[in-house]
């Protein structure tokens, strides 16, 4: 250990001597410590008299907007695609990713083609980008949050996106030919189907969790969208599970 410390001190003394130079420089030192049975130690120093060190560490951030990202699996796919192309990301969320470099035309085309293979789309139309943001906020809110917001969903969307709900609603209808409210109801029914299939909550608890005024209100909307009552849907799921268990036993 003493020999490691002495060797490191010697390297630092050499670096201090280089700093006295008037010229710009960049010095990278690598000290292989494998003979001491320790991980490789890398010491990197960058300095320029005309450019402060803190400025040298700044990097570009580019936001990418990606259509059809609606699950954790989609995030995993996007991360893998970015890594495969050689793009370094700082975050990947539903509908968007942030990378630490400008996207060249060549990498843009590769990324677009790679995402397309997985049913995803790199978006550049700002109207579509905003629609996708609305969509992802709704999916995140209904499927991944522990509970729905206590304020109106219209107010929640306006606060999140810094646009009036009237503007968002009109744009949604123009682009998708339906309403935001219809999409919200469809997502709530999908979430209700998941919760019924899990069989961990009663219908009353599911209705409360999804902000339905009553079980009958949930049942009516559920039947309208699926053609089945929640109870019938639950029975079908249970029968399917039993039949699959019987197949495994054969």
pTM for the predicted model, two decimal places: 0.57
- Spatial neighbors of 56 by CB under 8 A, at least 6 apart, are 46, 48
Q: Answer with the residue of higher pLDDT: 156 or 13.
A: 156
Q: Which residues contact 88 (CB under 8 A, 6 or more apart)?
A: 82, 99, 100, 101
Q: What is the pLDDT of residue 222?
A: 93
Q: Answer for the pair 31, 11: CB distance below 8 angstroms, yes or no.
A: yes
Selected residue with higher pLDDT from 95 and 146: 95
Q: Is the distance from CB of 140 to CB of 75 less than 8 angstroms?
A: no
Task: State the CATH architecture for 62-124.
Answer: 2-Layer Sandwich (3.30)
Determine the average pLDDT of the residues in 9-37: 45
Q: Which residues of the chain does CATH 1.10.10.60 include?
A: 128-236
Give, as one character, the DSSP assignment of residue 36. G
Residue range 141-175, pLDDT digits in tens: 999 887 888 888 899 999 999 999 999 999 999 88
**Residue 13 banded pLDDT, cuts 50, 70, 90:** low
- Quick: pLDDT tens for 33-82: 344 343 443 333 333 333 443 443 456 788 898 988 888 889 999 999 99
Q: What pLDDT digit, counting tens, does each position of 178-202 carry?
A: 999 999 999 999 999 999 988 889 9
pLDDT number for residue 39: 40
Q: How far apart are CA 207 and CA 218, in angstroms?
A: 6
Per residue in 210-248, pLDDT (tens digit) is: 999 999 999 999 999 999 999 888 888 765 544 433 433
Q: Which pLDDT value is given to residue 206?
A: 93
Residues 6+ apart with CB under 8 A from 62: 98, 99, 100, 101, 102, 103
Q: What is the Cα–Cα distance from 37 to 113, expressed in whole angstroms?
A: 45
99-147, pLDDT tens digit by residue?
Answer: 998 888 898 889 989 999 999 988 888 888 899 899 999 998 999 887 8
Q: How far is CA 109 from CA 103, 115, 117, in A?
A: 10, 10, 13
Q: How far is CA 16 from each of CA 2, 10, 32, 50, rounded to the nearest angstrom?
A: 21, 10, 21, 17
**Residue-level pLDDT at 42:** 37
- 3-state DSSP assignment of residue 211: coil
Q: What is the CATH number of domain 128-236?
A: 1.10.10.60
pLDDT of residue 17: 53
Q: How far apart are CA 100 and CA 174, in angstroms?
A: 34
pLDDT band at 27 (very low <50, low <70, confident <90, very high): very low
pLDDT of the residue at 43: 34
**3-state class (DSSP) for residue 162:** coil
Cα dihedral angle (150, 155, 159, 164), rounded to 10 degrees?
180
Q: Give the H or E element holding residue 96.
A: strand 96-99
> At 96, is the pLDDT very low, low, confident or very high (cuts 50, 70, 90)?
confident
Q: Where along the chain do the CATH 3.30.70.100 domains lie?
A: 62-124
């Amino acid at each position: 250990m003493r020999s490691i410390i002495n060797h490191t001190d010697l390297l630092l003394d050499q670096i201090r001597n280089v700093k006295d130079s008037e010229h710009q420089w960049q010095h990278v030192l690598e000290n292989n410590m494998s003979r001491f049975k320790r991980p490789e130690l890398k010491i990197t120093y960058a300095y320029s008299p005309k450019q402060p060190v803190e400025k040298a560490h700044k990097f570009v951030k580019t936001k990418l907007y990606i259509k059809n990202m609606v699950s954790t699996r989609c995030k995993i796919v996007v991360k893998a695609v970015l890594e495969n192309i050689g793009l370094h990301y700082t975050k990947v969320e539903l509908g968007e990713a942030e990378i630490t470099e400008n996207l060249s035309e060549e990498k843009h085309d590769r990324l677009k083609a790679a995402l397309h293979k997985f049913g995803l789309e790199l978006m550049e139309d700002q109207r579509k980008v905003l629609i996708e943001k609305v969509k992802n906020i709704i999916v995140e809110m209904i499927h991944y949050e522990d509970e729905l917001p206590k304020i109106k969903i219209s107010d929640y969307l306006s606060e999140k996106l810094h646009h009036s709900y009237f503007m968002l609603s009109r744009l949604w209808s123009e682009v998708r030919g339906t309403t935001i409210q219809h999409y919200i109801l469809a997502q709530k029914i999908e979430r209700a189907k998941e919760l019924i299939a899990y069989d961990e909550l009663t219908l009353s608890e599911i209705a409360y969790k999804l902000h339905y005024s009553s079980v009958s209100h949930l049942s009516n909307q559920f039947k309208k969208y699926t053609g089945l009552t929640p109870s019938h849907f639950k029975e079908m799921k249970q029968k399917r599970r039993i039949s699959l268990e019987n197949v495994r036993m054969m």
